[in-house]
Structure 1
Amino acid sequence: MALSLADKLVVAISSRALFDFEEENRVFETGDLQAYEALQRERLTVPARPGVAFALIRKLLALNTSAHRVEVAILSRSDPISGLRAFSSCREHGLAIERGVFTRGRPPFGYLKPLNASLFLSANHGDVRDALAAGFPAARVLPESATMASRYPDEIRIAFDGDAVLFSDEAEQIFQRDGLRAFVSHERDNRELPLAVGPLKPLLEALHRLQKLADEASPMRIRTALVTARSAPAHERAIRTLMAWNIEIDEAMFLGGLDKGAFLREFEPDFFFDDQIRHCESARAVTATGHVASGIVNAS
């Protein structure tokens, strides 16, 4: 019988999102592929330093102690020889990652389907846009993001924006077109009508399933948060949408336009997802951050 990843939370991640390959990437971006590959060959025995998403991946893999529920695969534009360094760095850091696809410069997002990916994390803007357009949950990690020294080593903490991330951007379109008053009125009038699915809803759903499967033998727990610019009365439709999906979240922050960074500093997520780059800029000073380039605010 062929192996299947259908029952797993599968995270596909670029080598640059997992490890600090910023120096190597600057050579790659010059277009001199030979120089890049030569540099990676020189450093085959030098373990790469942890990157932006490293802490999140390490914690997710810790869920596999009692049962194999999470699969992580490297999905990279690097060449296969550079892949040797990525895998050896995984081994040196104790990351149980066994699968990888290395495309030597070609867009890799097409391999998300056979991997059955629940999330794609990459530092490449184009690859993330392509993945989102193809219907896969994806975010561009910001390599400059801070990595929080968490007080919660036994919890995976993930925070999500709402509109254009967990939910569709239908309400955001009204806000952009007609302003705040029209947005609030529309959301109040439609409070019992669930919002359409956003790009990262499948990820939240997968995390919720893992929360329900957690047992006493597991060394890791999952805690989720909704961190949104919505405020009352527009909060109600967001909560009712989650109820309609039969998904529970642990914390909800309705900030009414307040800066999200200060609240994220208190929640201490291992990762935060938002569609608006201004919120990502605030968040990345606090924690690892991913930009979800979807919806009307990213249309251009």
Structure 2
Amino acid sequence: MPVSLQDQLVVAISSRALFDFEEENRLFETGDPQAYVDLQMQRIDVPAPPGVAFSLVKKLLAFNEPDHQRVEVVVLSRNDPVSGLRVFRSVSAAGMRVERGVFTQGRDPFRYLKPLGAHLFLSANEADVRQALAMGFPAARVAIGSARAGENHPHEVRIAFDGDAVLFSDEAEQVFQKRGLKAFQAHEKRKANLPLPDGPFKPLLAALHRLQQAGSQTMRLRTALVTARSAPANERAIQTLMSWDVGVDEAMFLGGLAKGEFLREFEPDFFFDDQTGHIEHAAQHVPAGHVAGGVTNSRVVSETPGRRQRSK
């Protein structure tokens, strides 16, 4: 009988999201891929430094036990197979167990998300992230310059999510973009008891909830909703989570306050948001990833001068 990943949390991740390959990548971007391969071969036994999502992956893998595999991490990379050798050796040197990888030598890797049944795709390539989101997979472009995760919670995975266009659909954000803040607040108050449609990261939150409920003798999971919604718009967000029968451990309704300092205190292993400005600020404090979907990331909006942004 074929092996199945059906009952596991499946994370697909690019090599640049997992490890710091920025020096090598700069060589690749000069247009000399062979020089890049040669450099990787020269360093094949030199473990790569941790990347933005390293802490998240290592902690998630710690949920696995010898007789119970709860999390599967698959390297999904535009790297060539030879460079993939260094990736796997770096994984081994870090004490992690990652057995599967797909290396496409410059071709689109996202098409392999479907057979993997991935619950999350992390990559440094924005085009790949957009394609994955369009296919219905939770995906984020890692902010390469992000601060690395802290070490204060070695036995707890901490993940923080924005609300609209991330956990929830961008329905309310569309109202704000078209009609402004007062219309947004009135819209959300009127629909307070009507759950928001699913956002792109609802499947990941649901999978994390199942992992949390399954329990572990050594690891815990803590989630947070970090949004600029404030009363009364907070009610619809909570009602939506209740309708999903999925909770978060912390909820921050910040009413437009900058999120970075609050995230610094929460100390997540990763934070997801759909607005680049918020990611840039958050990345000064914590590992962060941009969810390139929703109305704020549409071409029409991005090309409109002076467009409004509401921190969600």
TM interval, shorter chain, is: over 0.9
SS across alignment from 1:232? coil
CA contact (8 A) 1:122 1:140 kept: yes
SS across alignment from 2:55? helix
- For 1:32, the aligned partner's letter is D
CA contact (8 A) 1:65 1:219 kept: no
CA contact (8 A) 1:20 1:49 kept: yes
- The corresponding residue for 2:213 is 212
Please give the residue correspondences for 1:116-155 in structure 2 after superposition, counting only pairs within 5 Å: 116-155=117-156
Please give the residue correspondences for 1:28-107 in structure 2 after superposition, counting only pairs within 5 Å: 28-65=28-65, 67-107=68-108
* Counterpart Cα distance in 1 of 2:243 and 2:201: 16
Tell me, which stretches of 5 or more residues in structure 2 are unaligned?
A: 300-312
Residue 150 (structure 1) shift: 2.9
The yes-or-no answer on 1:192 pairing with 2:193 is yes
Residue 88 (structure 1) shift: 0.4
The yes-or-no answer on 1:168 pairing with 2:169 is yes
- The corresponding residue for 2:274 is 275
Deviations 1:256-276 (A, max 9, x none): 100000100111111000001
- The corresponding residue for 1:19 is 19
Residue 45 (structure 1) shift: 1.3
Give TM-score, length-normalised by structure 2. Answer: 0.94
* Counterpart Cα distance in 2 of 1:30 and 1:11: 30
Deviations 1:157-191 (A, max 9, x none): 00000000000000000001100000000000001
- For 1:37, the aligned partner's letter is V
**Shift >3 Å, 4+ stretches:** none
| % same residue | 66
SS across alignment from 1:63? coil
Instruction: Give the alignment's Cα RMSD to 1 decimal.
Output: 0.8
* Counterpart Cα distance in 2 of 1:30 and 1:256: 44
* Counterpart Cα distance in 2 of 1:94 and 1:148: 18
- The corresponding residue for 1:244 is 243
* Counterpart Cα distance in 1 of 2:155 and 2:99: 24
- The corresponding residue for 1:264 is 263
* Counterpart Cα distance in 1 of 2:199 and 2:64: 28
CA contact (8 A) 1:191 1:240 kept: yes
* Counterpart Cα distance in 1 of 2:193 and 2:35: 58
SS across alignment from 2:226? strand
Deviations 1:206-250 (A, max 9, x none): 0000111104xx211000000001000000000000000000110
Tell me, which stretches of 5 or more residues in structure 1 are unaligned?
A: none
- For 2:49, the aligned partner's letter is R
Residue 107 (structure 1) shift: 1.0
- For 2:155, the aligned partner's letter is D
SS across alignment from 2:108? coil
- Give the number of aligned pairs: 298
* Counterpart Cα distance in 2 of 1:150 and 1:194: 36
* Counterpart Cα distance in 2 of 1:221 and 1:79: 36
CA contact (8 A) 1:77 1:102 kept: yes
